């Protein structure tokens, strides 16, 4: 498969622990943000999104937090499982131009 995680920052967590993945975005005009998960050799899959009029949004086992003051986004994964191992990207969508951060590899230790 495609080694998309090669050379990316890596977060290693113990199975069952909570994971926090952070992202800094660059464009103050961005008003919509998305987190994606990418497994090796596959296209990114949508996890959760948040609009700029919100600070927090929860999904199933995942929570996204948005701090517009410091242009920071985070993804929290509760009770991390081996299937969560992947590369995670944040994306912003200013002016309908969807752009991505560099990504972080999440590695789950059994």
Partner 1 sequence: DGGITQSPKYLFRKEGQNVTLSCEQNLNHDAMYWYRQDPGQGLRLIYYSQIVNDFQKGDIAEGYSVSREKKESFPLTVTSAQKNPTAFYLCASSISGSKAEAFFGQGTRLTVV
| Cβ proximity to partner 1, 23 vs 77, nearer residue | 23
| Cβ proximity to partner 1, 42 vs 109, nearer residue | 42
Q: How far is the CB of 40 from partner 1 (least distance, A)?
A: 11
On the 0-12 / 13-18 / 19+ scale of CB atoms within 10 A, 53 is: exposed
Q: What is the binding site for partner 1 (CB under 8 A)?
A: 2-8, 31-32, 34, 36, 41-46, 49, 51, 89, 91, 93-103
| Cβ proximity to partner 1, 76 vs 93, nearer residue | 93
Q: How far is the CB of 13 from partner 1 (least distance, A)?
A: 21
Q: How far is the CB of 101 from partner 1 (least distance, A)?
A: 6
Q: How far is the CB of 51 from partner 1 (least distance, A)?
A: 6
Q: How many CB atoms lie within 10 A of CB 44?
A: 19
Q: What is the C-alpha to C-alpha distance for residues 102 and 92, in angstroms, rounded to an integer?
A: 12
Give 23-54 as a DSSP string.
Answer: EE---TT--EEEEEEE-TTS--EEEEEEETT-
| Cβ proximity to partner 1, 15 vs 51, nearer residue | 51
Cβ pair 101, 25 in contact under 8 A: yes
């Amino acid at each position: 498969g495609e080694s998309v995680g090669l050379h990316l920052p890596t977060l290693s967590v113990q199975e069952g622990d909570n994971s926090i993945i952070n992202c800094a975005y660059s464009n103050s005009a961005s008003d919509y943000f998305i987190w994606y998960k990418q497994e090796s050799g596959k296209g990114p899959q949508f996890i959760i999104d948040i609009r700029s009029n919100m600070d927090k949004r929860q999904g199933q086992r995942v929570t996204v937090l948005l701090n517009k003051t410091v242009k920071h986004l985070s993804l929290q994964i509760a009770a991390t499982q081996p299937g969560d191992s992947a590369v995670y990207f944040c994306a912003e969508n200013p002016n309908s131009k969807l752009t991505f951060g560099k990504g972080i590899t999440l590695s789950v230790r059994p």
